[in-house]
């Protein structure tokens, strides 16, 4: 499904007609899907359109994938929407992206509440415009306590910075006598991450043909399955998503063990 065939509101695409519950082909879905949404600019350039129209088409793809995720009962979806490095883009493009973000939250909040989807954000909010920070806080407050699905946007996000800030928070606790360096473990350190309330992603999808992680969830994706597609994000529809999930189900997830080890094989 291309972005041109999608309708304007959340939960109004073809996927909204799916029967409730998981479809028969989704035998063992991931609990948490994370997506690096890439290719909006190239999508616009291919059509000789301004880049902002590519981002608007990308927002339409977000609706499609959120719709499918909720319909297929996958409880966590995280979208890499704006990286720390994206601040280096031209000012007019950054401003347009921030305005589009506000518009998206305002337009979709009602449906998120109706479908019991909790909205959250990870990243350095201090760099976001005040109006965007206020809109995020408003949406988080309005959806607090909803538990059918968690939609997280990574905004002004850097995986390295998240780890650095977690280390700084741990160091402060050590100084205050609230933590002991000798007691530091992976599990304890993970509790200092901003994304600590999210389970690690089981599946990481990247669109547009690029085959790299781009500083996203560096700690969290240690054992995630990676799926790369040449499809540009605005064109990434339900069938593309289904192919990624089908590929995930075909993987043998050993987590460092052998197939004949207890718990060494799961899909």
Alpha carbons within 13 angstroms on the beta-carbon side of residue 111 total 16
Choosing from 28, 40, 86, 124, which is the catalytic residue?
A: 86
Does residue 267 sit in helix, strand or coil? coil
Q: Which residues of 175-193 are buried (b: 16+ CB within 10 A; e: fewer)?
A: eeeebeeeeeeeeebeebb
Q: Which residues contact 56 (CB under 8 A, 6 or more apart)?
A: 100
Question: Would you call 28 a catalytic residue per the annotation?
Answer: no
Q: Which listed residue (38, 202, 235, 240) is catalytic?
A: 38
Do the beta carbons of residue 29 and residue 22 sit within 8 Å?
A: yes
- Would you call 148 exposed, middle or buried from its count of C-beta atoms within 10 A (0-12, 13-18, 19+)? exposed
CA distances from 228 to 27, 35, 82, 213, 248 (A): 21, 10, 19, 10, 12
Residues 6+ apart with CB under 8 A from 16: 67, 71
Those residues whose C-beta lies under 8 Å from the C-beta of residue 102, and which sit 6 or more positions away, are: 131, 132, 135
The side-by-side arrangement of strands in the sheet containing 149-157 is 117-122, 149-157, 76-83, 32-36, 203-206, 225-228
Question: Would you name the residues annotated as active-site residues?
Answer: 38, 86
């Amino acid at each position: 499904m291309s972005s041109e065939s999608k309708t304007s509101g959340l939960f109004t695409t073809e996927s909204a007609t799916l029967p409730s519950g998981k479809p028969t082909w989704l035998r063992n879905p991931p609990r948490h899907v994370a997506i690096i949404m890439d290719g909006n600019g190239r999508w616009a350039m291919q059509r000789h359109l301004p880049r902002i129209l590519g981002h608007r088409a990308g927002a339409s793809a977000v609706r499609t994938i959120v719709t499918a995720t909720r319909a297929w009962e996958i409880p966590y979806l995280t979208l890499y929407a704006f990286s720390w490095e994206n601040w280096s883009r031209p000012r007019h493009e950054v401003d347009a992206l921030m305005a589009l973000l506000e518009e998206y939250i305002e337009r979709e909040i009602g449906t998120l509440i109706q479908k019991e989807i909790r909205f959250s954000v990870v990243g350095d909010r201090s760099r976001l415009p005040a109006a965007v920070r206020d809109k995020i806080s408003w949406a988080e407050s309005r959806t607090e306590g909803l538990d059918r699905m968690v939609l997280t946007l990574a905004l002004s996000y850097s995986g390295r910075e998240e780890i650095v800030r977690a280390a700084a928070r741990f160091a402060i606790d050590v100084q205050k006598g609230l933590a002991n360096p000798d007691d530091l473990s992976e599990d304890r350190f993970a509790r200092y991450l901003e994304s600590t309330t999210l389970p690690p992603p089981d599946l990481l999808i990247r669109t547009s043909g690029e085959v790299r992680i781009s500083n996203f969830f560096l700690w969290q994706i240690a054992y995630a399955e990676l799926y790369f597609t040449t499809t540009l994000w605005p064109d990434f529809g339900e069938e593309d998503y289904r192919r990624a999930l089908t590929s995930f189900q075909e993987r043998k997830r050993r987590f460092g063990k052998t197939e004949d080890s207890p718990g060494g094989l799961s899909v």
